[in-house]
Chains A and B, each alone.
Chain A
Amino acid sequence: MTATAPKPGGKPTSADAVPLLSVDDLRIRFRTEDGVVKAVDGLSFTVDRGRTLGIVGESGSGKSVTNLALLGLHNPARTTIEGRARFDGVDLLGASQKVLRDLRGRRMSMVFQDPLTALSPYYSIGEQIAETYRRHTGADRKKARLRAVDMLDRVGIPHAVRRVDDYPHQFSGGMRQRAMIAMALVCDPDLLIADEPTTALDVTVQAQILDLLAELQRELGTAIILVTHDLGVIEDTADEVLVMYAGRCVERGTTDEVLTTPQHPYTWGLLSSMPRLTSDVDEPLRPVPGSPPSLLNPPSGCPFHPRCVHAIDTCRSERPALARPEGLPGAGSGVSACHLDADARLRARGLPVVQHSQGAAS
């Protein structure tokens, strides 16, 4: 794993500034017929202006649920949300629906995996973008339409003036995804949440969309939360990474740190599961054994312990805290939640699974 190249644009870190978004000890539970699902269990992270936080993790690890909570989109009747989430001074979890409605689309907006769920088939693409703009800025129809054309042009729709009256079904998958990005960015939001924005697309189209997001971010200074299961996408786009497992953060740090010197056994597993265009084809992949845990009845202690080949007794009984590993040479500012001490992790790094990622990095 080699993430040593500086990101295009070289965005500055605003270490002392107040983060745009800070999430602290977020807990989300759903009441279901089978019992209570602890979908998110004590999650904390921050996002700075103009930067991209990548969230990775297995299916069901709580990535989407977290973002929906920030946007206030859970059904309050069946969902319990606890913790704190501050967005530029606004308490998101305590805010009224009216405040949230006003924030959504204007200052925070989202892009989903499937644009057809977000675009209505009954209105033209242009009408939908213009309507979002009008609702939040009070602009008149003519101005809003011009703005829609401008946005479509900016996201690379050819002949935007002509295509603005097309309906979603007249666009290809990649164009719909662009249109949705245009709609999400029409009010110059401070935060864009993109939940698997390219998972359904081909690699060539994915590359176009990710470049487009980076380009717009450079121009507008938007902060981005990018949810993906593809570590390659993270490597190309994110400044910081949050690795989730069973509703918790198991590791967090800069992209370089997490991909070149991962600290958590689950992150090691993710990295060694993934074949690369340069890896040795005669070497078997090194999957994480077993399958993800049930959130109805999560494992005791470290949620990863049933699948972890390094687990010690403490892992089964005590939940590891998210902390900077002490006395580990090469560890940066990243944090991880694992009971293994520095020695054990170094020993574990002697195992092929970590040699693999270190070898590629040097």
Chain B
Amino acid sequence: MSRAIPAPKRAKDAAPETGAPLLEVEDLRMHFPIHGGMLRRKVGAVRAVDGVSFQVGAGESFGLVGESGCGKSTTGRLVARLMEPTDGAIRYAGRDITHASRRELAPLRSEIQVVFQDPYSSLNPRHTVGTIITAPMKINGIDPPGGHRKRVQELLERVGLNPEHYNRFPHEFSGGQRQRIGIARALAVEPRLVIADEPVSALDVSIQAQVVNLLKDLQRDLGIAFVFIAHDLAVVRHFCERVAVMYLGKVVEVADRQTLYTNPHHPYTHALLSAVPGEREADGARKPRIRLTGDLPSPADPPSGCRFRTRCPKAQGVCADQEPPLVRLGATPGHEVACHFPAPLEETAAAALAPADRAEADEPAVPVERLEQTA
């Protein structure tokens, strides 16, 4: 593996070559060892992230969606270099940071910030809001012009909190307010890239909207790039300009928002979008659903060929033999699909309606599992 290039003092000044993406992820892998037996020998590996590639431009909001366990958080943690990948490459602002050491990463810590899902456990309950937000500035040796306190108060105001609450403790705030504190802490060091892992999932609908609006304003006003991880497809659509759909450690489809939501070509994307509750056709009819049969396979023992084939209504022999690469599809720039038979929704829906003649042994043969169109 290539070594990280020593970083300049403040990488922000070393702007990436024009046109180059801020973040490039190439064939990224994270395999967690599974130990077993008397000697706790390595007996296998959870292939949490298994060949993921994508790029995020400066100031761009990029979404990662997919079912629980598909590797979204692991991808986010790798990109923030909270852990070291097994294989692949991560380039930030043109520099390879895949295996960069703590020291090499130190100057980048201020540029790449993380906002976590849980606004309760991610803030130290014994520290005041002021201390919490000041900490990353101190760690990164940042001395704002008017002093720390003034900067914190500006930040509190920026995220919609009362600047006078500088000396309060996290428990004195509501969930949505605590998430704002977490965001203020991330902003304190003027990041260029924020990894937001389910930043609004723990919040109530009405509060969720407040925080999504705030993040959107920040992205626009401050030009911060986002890797936004969420399972709510409507929230991701609202926030992200480009979206990647993951399945079992891999990206199966990536496209700009408009294409991904209106003209997806991977059967899994079809199934995912059709499962969103409360969506109707223009005439008020319930949208047809593409039911997935069976359970998510284990990432420790993924199916051969295409990983989705065990649940895919369109699977053919070739799907078990050959892994479909993520390749550019048609005329839409940046639309990539990993499927042997990429096609619009109608084909997947038709295949899902057809009688089940696939020899999948482990599938429930219940009629409710099949596509059911209620109009």
Q: Do A and B come from one complex?
A: yes
- Asked if B91 lies at the interface with its beta carbon under 8 angstroms from chain A, I say no
Interface stretch of the complex, out of B28-36, B112-120, B349-357, B362-370:
B362-370
Question: Which one of A36-44, A267-275, A311-319 contacts B?
Answer: A267-275
Supposing A203-B272, A207-B291, A232-B276 touch, asked if A270 and B206 sit within 8 A by C-beta, the answer is yes
In the bound complex, residues from chain A placing their C-beta under 8 Å from that of B294 are 158
Q: Give chain A nearest CB distance to B311 CB in angstroms.
A: 9
Residues of B within 8 A of A59 (CB): 175, 204
- Chain B contributes a number of interface residues (CB within 8 A of A) equal to 53
The residue of chain A having its C-beta at the shortest distance from the C-beta of B286 within the complex is A5
Contact residues in B for A2 (Cβ distance below 8 Å): 280, 284
Which of B176, B279, B295 is in CB contact (< 8 Å) with A277?
B279
Contact present for B234 and A276 (CB under 8 Å): yes
Q: Does A157 contact B (CB under 8 A)?
A: yes
**A5–B272 CB distance below 8 A:** no
| A323 interface contact, C-beta 8 A | no
- The CA-CA distance from A73 to B284 in the complex, in Å, is 40
Measured between beta carbons, the chain B residues less than 8 angstroms from A32 are: none
Question: What is the bound-complex CA distance between A157 and B364, given in angstroms?
Answer: 6
Q: Which of B237-274 contact A (CB under 8 A)?
A: 237-238, 257, 261, 271-274
Whether a CB of chain B sits under 8 angstroms from the CB of A330 is no
What residues of chain A lie closer than 8 Å to B363, measured between beta carbons? 158
Contact, CB under 8 Å: B234 / A275: yes
B277 and A174: CB pair below 8 A?
no
User: Beta-carbon contacts of A152-169 to B below 8 Å, as 1s and 0s?
Assistant: 000011110000000000
Contacts of A151 in B (CB 8 A): none
Closest A-chain residue to B369, C-beta based?
A156
**Closest Cβ neighbor of B240 among chain A residues:** A281
Hey, which chain B residues are within 8 Å of A210, CB to CB? 277
Q: Does B296 contact A (CB under 8 A)?
A: yes
In the complex, chain B residues whose CB is within 8 Å of the CB of A231: 205, 278
Contact digits for A201-221, partner B, Cβ 8 Å, 1 yes 0 no: 011111110111001000000
Q: A232-B278, A236-B286 are in contact. Are A8 and B374 (CB under 8 A)?
A: yes
The residues of B that contact A232 with a CB separation of less than 8 Å are 276-279
Smallest CB gap from A57: residue in B: B204
Whether A172 sits at the interface, judged by CB under 8 Å, is yes
Q: Is the CB of B177 within 8 A of A277?
A: no
A277 B284 Cβ-Cβ under 8 A: no
* Interface residue stretch chosen among B52-60, B209-217, B339-347: B209-217
Asked if A324 is at the interface of the complex by the 8 Å CB criterion, the answer is: no
- Whether the Cβ atoms of B209 and A277 lie closer than 8 Å is no
Q: Is A298 an interface residue (CB 8 A)?
A: no
Stretch from A12-20, A79-87, A106-114, A283-291 that touches the partner: A283-291
Determine whether the beta carbon of A202 is less than 8 Å from that of B213. Answer: no
Q: B285 at the A/B interface (Cβ < 8 Å)?
A: yes
- Does A212 lie within 8 Å of B275, measured CB to CB? no
Q: Is B123 an interface residue (CB 8 A)?
A: no
B205, B272, B285: the one contacting A274 at CB < 8 Å is B205
Residue of A nearest to B375 (CB): A5
Across the two chains, which residue of chain B brings its CB closest to A202?
A: B67
A287-B213 contact given A211-B372, A269-B206, A276-B234, CB 8 Å threshold: yes
Size of chain A's interface in residues, with CB distance under 8 A? 53
The interface residues of chain B lying within 8 Å CB-to-CB of A91 are: none
Q: Is A4 an interface residue (CB 8 A)?
A: yes
* A25 part of interface (Cβ distance < 8 Å): no
Check if B289 is an interface residue, CB within 8 A of chain A: yes
- Interchain CB contact under 8 A, A203 and B231: yes
Measured between alpha carbons, how far is A43 from B212 in the docked complex, in Å? 33
Provide the bound-state CA to CA distance between A215 and B235, in Å. 29
| A234 touches B (CB below 8 Å) | yes
Residue A299 CB within 8 A of the other chain: no
Given the contacts A5-B374, A204-B272, A273-B206, A281 and B277 also touching, CB distance less than 8 Å? no
- Asked if A193 is at the interface of the complex by the 8 Å CB criterion, the answer is no
Min distance, Cβ A31 to any Cβ of chain B, angstroms: 22
Mark each residue of chain A from 239 to 275: 1 if its CB lies under 8 Å from any CB of chain B, else 0.
Answer: 0000000000000000000000000000001101111
- Interface contact A291-B271, CB-CB below 8 Å: no
Task: List, in ascending order, chain A residues with CB within 8 A of B234's CB.
Answer: 274-277, 279
Q: Which of these, B68, B177, B205, contacts A202 with CB under 8 Å?
A: B68
| In the bound complex, CA of A19 to CA of B177 (Å) | 42
| Contact status A270-B205, CB under 8 Å | yes
The reply to whether A292 and B174 contact each other, CB–CB distance below 8 Å, is yes
Closest CB in chain B relative to A280 CB, distance in Å? 9
* B289 adjacent to A275 (CB under 8 Å): no
B153 interfacial contact with A, CB 8 Å: no
Nearest CB on B from A212, distance (A): 6
A166-210 vs B: 1/0 string, CB under 8 Å? 000000111100000000000000000000000000111111101
A101 CB-CB contact with B under 8 Å: no
Question: A175-B295, A207-B277, A285-B238 are contacts. A291–B207 as well, Cβ < 8 Å?
Answer: yes
Given A285-B209, A287-B210: A207 touches B176 (CB 8 Å cut-off): no
Do the beta carbons of A172 and B295 come within 8 Å of each other? yes
Task: Name the residue on A nearest B366 (C-beta).
Answer: A156
Chain B residues with Cβ under 8 A from A272's Cβ?
209
A233 at the interface (CB under 8 A from B): yes
- In chain A, positions 1-35 with a C-beta closer than 8 Å to chain B are 2-5, 8
The 23 sampled A-B contact pairs (Cβ below 8 Å) are A5-B374, A59-B204, A156-B364, A158-B294, A202-B68, A203-B272, A203-B276, A207-B277, A229-B204, A229-B205, A231-B278, A232-B276, A232-B278, A233-B277, A235-B278, A273-B206, A274-B234, A275-B234, A277-B279, A281-B238, A284-B213, A284-B216, A286-B209
- Other than the given A4-B280, A156-B368, A274-B209, 9 more pairs (CB < 8 A) read A174-B295, A207-B277, A208-B368, A208-B369, A273-B205, A273-B209, A276-B234, A276-B278, A277-B279
